[in-house]
Chains A and B, each alone.
Chain A
């Protein structure tokens, strides 16, 4: 007893950990909205962009393209789960669906990518509008079940429909030039195109989170009955968020179809819906950069451990369990909470140094 009261900094440190479990990750986040930390977020983004611009000098561009596609997918998913509190377990249908749409437009209809990619994303958004309208009538686990059920329906549709290529998928999608001049056939050029698409999607998500609309979303996440009692028709907000998320997931899927010249059943299967949950959790749900980090970690593992066969899945499973048990805020969430704790401890120390008597400080 005396031990713990004797050293106030250690005591606050440990209690902060337990109480912060629920509050710190998002409280740090909402503080980021006020002036000083906003610039910290911007610095992080600019640093990321600088790294991304030089990355092809060190890493294989096609690998980076894969990371970016999944990062955008995870960010889109996070918009829903992290900021509205809606866990969709069927996001593969938008991601994979858009890759089919895009593949068909590029290969069969011969559309240029600058038309096919946005069109496929919008088509995924339209799917999101319909699926969302059905799913948001239910809450919690039932919401997840409805999205899963509809995604499975879409999977079997993709398996049977004549234009999806069934088990083979749509193969050899042409990497045609954008606007007739940007040669996507070149891997490095393709990488920069994908980086531009990712950045646009990421900034749109960032803006959405920090918009008047985003404020209402967070209010719904925090306390839905209260948001209703303040006069917000929450279903309409959820539906718009769901549609936006589906559109952006579609943007990621369409980009992937162009980059890898393939649209296949893998991208609409339920495992893909699970993978995006994993990426978001590992990186940090409800943080802006978390899904990017999570996607990078998972894709890297899949790539470099591919030689070990099934062990990739075992490793993924272990990571998932460890994150859920020990690092519930994910990599970015934990890092932010750590920074926040340090900042507070420093403030406390400053307050103590300023001459406030600390009665319990005996050693």
Chain B
């Protein structure tokens, strides 16, 4: 089972004033896999995600990354260890150009980020790499636009290019296709598949056809606990999972999606 686990949580619990948003989650993510975290609304996916990325402090439990305990590590330090997250609302630096967006991620490695006396031109050595990263996601021609000027789907692409600039070992994607049209979803899914070739990906995702398409392993959360785990075929036919999705009115959109996929 856990021959090469890159990320592991043990008894991960988060309580908000007595209400357990996440309780006793034991998650194991294999190195190199695309692992999806799904579940109906309010299942605790996002809380779980924020705990793993250290944007929330867990009430109980431990988190191990690459065998190291990161339960009390600061988020910026986790990022430096090679685990980088994305955000549900696409996170770009709106008033910076696309090139600067990617360059900000690249420049940390130079070790000059506190040098307020040094010219910005010292960063131009990074331009070639930044342009290559932008070209990778099909944004090369827009390098001098500001991120705010991009349409939504392309902001996501920019965010991914920025994340890849760090060359992280593990990517944590928070609903990478949320709010996207069909065409953008296809493009983003292809991009995720491509960048996951030599990386581990853990993602929270609502769109079940994307999940079915990409994931090696799926963990289904309901009411803060793990309901089922396994490949899509196993999970999608699990009666408890079907009930969890159908039983809550909020999950209808995703539910029909799942049903449609099961038919195919």
Indicate whether A219 reaches chain B with its CB closer than 8 angstroms: yes
Q: How far is the CB of B25 from chain A (nearest CB, A)?
A: 22
- Of B34-42, B142-150, B200-208, B251-259, which binds chain A? B142-150
Docked-complex contact A207 and B116, CB < 8 angstroms: yes
**Interface-centre pick from B74, B85, B108, B116 (highest chain A CB count, 10 A):** B116
Given contacts A222-B94, A229-B91, contact A207 B76 (CB under 8 A): no
Chain B residues in 8 Å Cβ range of A30: 95-97, 100, 146
Q: Which of B55, B94, B118 contacts A211 (CB 8 A)?
A: B118
Q: In the complex, A185→B96 CA distance in Å?
A: 47
A291-331 contact mask (Cβ, 8 Å, vs B): 1 or 0: 00000000000000000000000000000000000000000
Please classify the interface of chain A as helix (H, G, I), strand (E, B), loop, or mixed, using the class held by over half of its residues: helix
Docked-complex contact B92 and A223, CB < 8 angstroms: yes
Indicate whether A244 reaches chain B with its CB closer than 8 angstroms: yes
| Chain A interfacial residues counted at CB < 8 A | 37
Docked-complex contact B80 and A231, CB < 8 angstroms: yes
Q: How far is the CB of B164 from chain A (nearest CB, A)?
A: 11
Q: In the complex, A224→B27 CA distance in Å?
A: 28
Indicate whether B166 reaches chain A with its CB closer than 8 angstroms: yes
Given contacts A23-B149, A225-B91, contact A212 B100 (CB under 8 A): no
Docked-complex contact A244 and B79, CB < 8 angstroms: no
Docked-complex contact A219 and B96, CB < 8 angstroms: yes
Docked-complex contact A26 and B95, CB < 8 angstroms: yes
Docked-complex contact B91 and A210, CB < 8 angstroms: no
Docked-complex contact A222 and B76, CB < 8 angstroms: no
Q: How far is the CB of B83 from chain A (nearest CB, A)?
A: 10
Say which size band chain B's interface belongs to: 35 or more
Q: In the complex, A236→B166 CA distance in Å?
A: 20
Chain A residues in 8 Å Cβ range of B74: 233
Indicate whether A271 reaches chain B with its CB closer than 8 angstroms: no
Binding site for A on B (CB under 8 A): 53, 55, 74-77, 79-80, 84-87, 91-97, 100, 103-105, 107-108, 110, 112-120, 122-123, 144, 146, 148-149, 162, 166
Q: How far is the CB of A93 from chain B (nearest CB, A)?
A: 22
Chain B residues in 8 Å Cβ range of A23: 94-95, 146, 148-149
Indicate whether A178 reaches chain B with its CB closer than 8 angstroms: no
Chain A residues in 8 Å Cβ range of B120: 33, 210-212, 214-215
Q: How far is the CB of B107 from chain A (nearest CB, A)?
A: 6
Chain B residues in 8 Å Cβ range of A231: 76-77, 79-80, 84, 108, 166
Indicate whether A218 reaches chain B with its CB closer than 8 angstroms: yes
Docked-complex contact B76 and A208, CB < 8 angstroms: no
For chain A residues 237-268, which have a beta carbon within 8 Å of chain B? 237, 240, 244
Docked-complex contact B103 and A230, CB < 8 angstroms: no
Q: Which of A210, A214, A234 contacts B76 (CB 8 A)?
A: A234
Chain A residues in 8 Å Cβ range of B87: 225-226, 229
Indicate whether A228 reaches chain B with its CB closer than 8 angstroms: yes
